[in-house]
Amino acid sequence: MRAFVVPSVFLVGFVVSSAACASSGEAPESLESTGTVTQPVINGTIDTSATNNAVVQLQGDGLCTGTVFKKTASATWILTAAHCVPTSRVYVGPDSSNELARYNVASYVADERYGDGQSQLSLDYDVAVVKVDGNIVEATEIELVGTTDTLAVGTGVTSYGYGKTTGYDVPDNNTRRRSIDRTIATLTATSLSYDQGDGKGICAGDSGGPVVFGTGAARRVVGVHSTVGNVAGQEQCFGQANSIRVSARHDFIDAAVAGTALPQLGACEACIEDASQSTTCRQKRQKCQADTECAALADCLQEGGGEACITQYEKGIGPYLDVFECGCADACATQCAGQTACADVSKCGVAFNRATYNTCIETSCCAEVDAAAADGLGYVCLGAPTTAGCATNAKYQAFDACSKLNCDTKKGSSSGSTSSSGTPEEEEQPEEESPSEEPSTTKRANKDEGGCSVSTTGAQTEGRSPAALLFAICAGMAIRSRRRRA
């Protein structure tokens, strides 16, 4: 899992709105900060099947969707999103306007690790369990997947919800349950995502609803709708839809049903949640704001500019990414050493794709490469040392001198080979690699189905280049900085 500290000034990539809770009256204002606003199934199919009466509508501060996953004679439990609570009423059936199928909520509990939903880390815990006293006889059940699932990129799934059907900004009094078939485009340990560029998928009001995989007795809830992205120049909710993987949240769900102690954030995760307010991270944020290219990149991405932003403000990428690395790499480096939450954060700002060379850099030139990677031009020079200005860029030259002095013999000639300056060449990956060579896991970022692509200029890293990281942010993996309730 990639942990981001989202600075309060940034809205990153496509503006992301909470998929879940729609205001029962007026449409929410444009999502400059995304909150618990609802999302409907747009261009979906009306679902009247009694088998799916496990999918229910939740009403309270806003409108959301939930799934009945367990019933006993004395209680009914419903899975939804953390940003959907508090909630007070449950409506069962294909049309939520039926007052005869209304039930009062007895209690609810959200995953405490979700907090206020201000960061990418906290959004990974966007789940809650709602309890209704007694057995809701009209409701069916859909079992939850266990602690492991068989999902993969390309897996077909179905989403259900009572959300808006006409787009985020259009008034919509939908009360009907709908479904939409989608294909998983992105999968992490804690989330699954699919693209809605074709104008079909979840939107306001669908938050908390289920992503279902399988058929018949093998049907399982594998995801909980959490957020959805927007694309500049298009109707909102046409970006990437993100859901929390149920398999990753059984520690909370099982404890909520059993009434036992709920899981808490570990020391690393708790530190990351507060890192944006640390002196170090605040200074990095202020540095980006004061940097013309970095500030312009942030503003452009906030407006959903995607590829154009990254190519236009290339020299803003380094300081921009430096803000997002801050929690793991700086403010919480001690607490997060060796922790899963920061496993994808390189030790020195970037990692080179030749392992022996990278180890030498981490040992001998960590401070120098970190400083260069955080610099606008320095970051570009790490991947393209012949760029104009690199010869006089002090931070890049300090890294180059350190590399030549300590690590030249480690550069090697396999994929991810280095130039004479000691930095990775910007060249296409070879079609085949010799079995005797260390394989490069560097990935180049290409155009995403959602319409966002990134330039491949910049430092090549092990497993994920800074450019690819920015690509992930642009694709909606990082979220908005502030949330509001609908």
Structural element, H or E, at residue 227:
strand 220-229
Tokens 């029962």 -> residue: 24
CATH 2.40.10.120 residue ranges in the chain?
1-264
pLDDT in tens, the chain (486 residues): 222 222 222 222 223 344 444 433 322 222 222 233 333 466 788 999 999 999 999 999 889 999 999 999 999 999 999 999 999 999 999 999 888 899 999 999 999 999 877 666 788 899 999 999 999 999 999 999 999 999 999 999 999 999 878 655 556 678 899 999 999 999 999 999 998 888 889 988 999 999 999 999 999 999 999 988 766 556 678 888 999 999 999 999 999 999 999 999 889 888 888 887 889 999 999 999 999 999 998 888 776 666 678 888 999 999 998 888 888 888 898 998 888 778 778 788 787 878 899 899 999 999 999 999 999 999 999 988 999 999 999 999 999 999 999 998 766 543 333 333 333 333 333 333 333 333 222 222 222 222 222 333 334 433 334 444 444 444 333 333 222 222
* Adjacent-strand bridge partners of 22: 63
pTM attached to this predicted model: 0.67
The pLDDT assigned to 310 comes to: 81
CATH number of 1-264: 2.40.10.120
DSSP-derived pairing of the beta strands 75-80 and 128-133: antiparallel
Residues 34 and 207: their CA atoms lie apart, in Å, by: 13
Closest alpha carbon to 5 in 278, 386, 361, 295: 278
The pLDDT assigned to 51 comes to: 92
Output phi, psi for 311, to 5 deg.
-75, -35
Reduce the DSSP state of residue 156 to 3 states and report it: strand
DSSP label at 50?
Answer: G
Q: Which residues neighbour 13 within 8 Å (Cβ) at sequence distance 6 or greater?
A: 229, 301, 304, 306, 452, 473, 474, 475, 476, 477, 478
Reduce the DSSP state of residue 317 to 3 states and report it: helix
The pLDDT assigned to 431 comes to: 38
Concatenated DSSP letters of 444-463: -----TTS------S---SS
The pLDDT assigned to 167 comes to: 58
The region, left, alpha or beta by phi > 0 then psi within -120 to 50, assigned to residue 143 is: beta
The pLDDT assigned to 385 comes to: 92
Chain center to CA of 353: 25
Q: Which two tokens stand for residue 331?
A: 């403010």
The pLDDT assigned to 231 comes to: 66
The pLDDT assigned to 448 comes to: 28
